[in-house]
Amino acid sequence: MSVQFPPSAAPRSAYPVDVLPAMVRRRLLELADAGRPLSAYVYDGDVAAGRARELRAALPEWAAVYYAVKANSFPGVVEALAPYVDGFEVASVAELELALRAGRLAGRHADQPPGQDGENPAPAVPVVAAGPAKSVPVLTALVRAGVEAINAESLLELHRISRIAVAEGVTARVALRVNPAEIPITGALLMGGAASQFGVAEPDVPEVLREARKLPGLDLVGFHIHAASGNLDAATHAAYLRWCVEWSVRTARETGIELRHVDIGGGIGVAFEGEEPFDVGRFGELAAGIEPPAGVKVILEPGRFVVADCGWYAAEVTDVKTSYGESFAVLRGGINHFQLPTSWDIVHNVAVLPVEKWAEECPRPTAENTRVTVVGELCTPEDTLLRDVLIDRVRAGDLIVFPYAGSYGWEFAMHSFLGHPVAERHLL
């Protein structure tokens, strides 16, 4: 059995402390002065809102930006985004309630009239729902909320949605999630063309649609194709968008579906050290050359792209140790709070925020001008967040701060392992 470590950061150096915005540094030092070991996320809702506005402004009118709540479900972040996105993508009842509450607080679509003639009322804010194993309670909540579309993953799920909708006296809007046989585009496109628990395999789509059209509680509105992940190339992502639209138009025509909805998922990447960021303006220019049929809404579901740089994870250095010539900074926190670097096999660099106060009556352990491995508080060697990064100085009591921690951070962590307190969360 091999231990999963993040890749070595060598020859990188840690970020200078001024990579952290001044107000983030101030807030973290305030928290560090509270008299208890610190492990916390700090979020800036304005940063997330700005990213959403940038993407929304670059896209044509037929495109819609729905924030994927799974990336960061902190209520303050979701509420900050609500005025600037067209809707939300959810995968649970908790996320559904969070999205609807954020929409109501933002005053979005408050004048929406109730549905008539057996149709669901539109929710307070447009919502689409995804997930490979939606339970009957989840599907029931989605149907009752009248979400814009439930992305159905199988024929059985379509039967369940229909049965629930008929019992509720409504018609549920459904998009079929498809696992395409081939994505004719190169790049970071990882979620299609292979056996998967996600969606309906493309060869099975015609038969599933024939059966679905017999079900009385469904309104088949289109397709969900989420086959992109971590794409940093604007031209490739625009080509993927075009392919999704063209595939959906062709398949709807061949199967007799009245196409109104194409959901291409997320997939826009976040640039780390040494990578070029996604060119939103170029993506918008290329998307403008695509012409979906009139009345077809094309939904993008960015999550990580919208919130990655709105969050910072900080943990107090509880000890600095040397073992057989290697230096370690041991944190109050680890993969129980921030699992991303290990799970995603990335070098997630840090900054050291000095904390001058040292109340203990003993020498202050320090490492200077050396490579340091940053580890957590758990009883497993896998609790390693960063390896071999060159640090000018780190002392017990300082803070190690991970920028770009606004997505898949707190939500993705192993909160219960060993039973330590979970990381705090704060909104600037």
What b/e string do you get for 22-36 counting C-beta neighbours within 10 Å, with b at 16 or more? eebbebbbebbeeee
Our answer to whether residue 379 is catalytic in this structure is: yes
Collapsing DSSP to helix, strand or coil, 286 comes out as helix
Token pair in block for residue 287: 């998307």
Say how far apart CA 326 and CA 348 lie, in whole Å.
20
The DSSP 8-state label assigned to residue 348 in this structure reads: -
Pairing of strands 127-129, 149-152: parallel
Give the C-alpha separation, 150 to 144, whole Å: 12
Q: List all residues 6 or more positions away from 104 whose beta carbon is below 8 Å from its beta carbon.
A: 110, 124, 125
Cα gap 100→87, rounded to integer Å: 10
Q: Choose, from 244, 310, 362, 379, the residue flagged as catalytic.
A: 379
CA dist 345 → 7, 217, 233, 253, 305 (Å):
6, 44, 20, 42, 18
Measured distance CA(160)–CA(155) in Å, rounded = 9
Residues labelled catalytic = 379
